[in-house]
Structure 1
């Protein structure tokens, strides 16, 4: 089990490093118009916007499923 946790953590860490390096390379070696197209107008907060979007989508899906289960098993609409 500890081996699995180690390898998953190592893979996650390497993925984060690879994405960070790739974004730094894109920022350093592409013209401004291409960067605007790839990363959007707010280039400094791309990771945070992505994470925020994932959390919001997860919460919306969780709430919808919770409401569905409440309606199915309890018969309440919350």
Structure 2
């Protein structure tokens, strides 16, 4: 189990380093207008916006699934 955790953390760290290096490369070698088109006007907070939208999508899906499960449960066990 510890091997899996270790390799997961190694992969996560490697992915973060590669992503940050790629983002720095894009910022350094892309014209401003092209960067703004791809990354948006607020380029310093791309990571936070991405994480925020992922969290928002997760919460929306969770709420939908919870409602679906509650409805199914109420239909199945509510009428006895």
Q: How high is the TM-score relative to the length of structure 1? A: 0.91
| Deviating 4+ runs (over 2 angstroms) | none
Q: CA RMSD in A?
A: 1.3
Runs of 5+ unmatched residues, structure 1: none
Q: How high is the TM-score relative to the length of structure 2? A: 0.89
Alignment: residue pair count = 76
* 1:5 and 2:5 matched: yes
The residue correspondences of 1:1-78 to structure 2 (distance < 5 A) are 1-75=1-75
The secondary structure found in structure 2 opposite 1:7 is helix
Equivalent-residue separation in structure 2 for 1:32 and 1:13 (angstroms):
29
The secondary structure found in structure 2 opposite 1:41 is coil
Equivalent-residue separation in structure 1 for 2:54 and 2:30 (angstroms):
27
Equivalent-residue separation in structure 2 for 1:25 and 1:31 (angstroms):
12
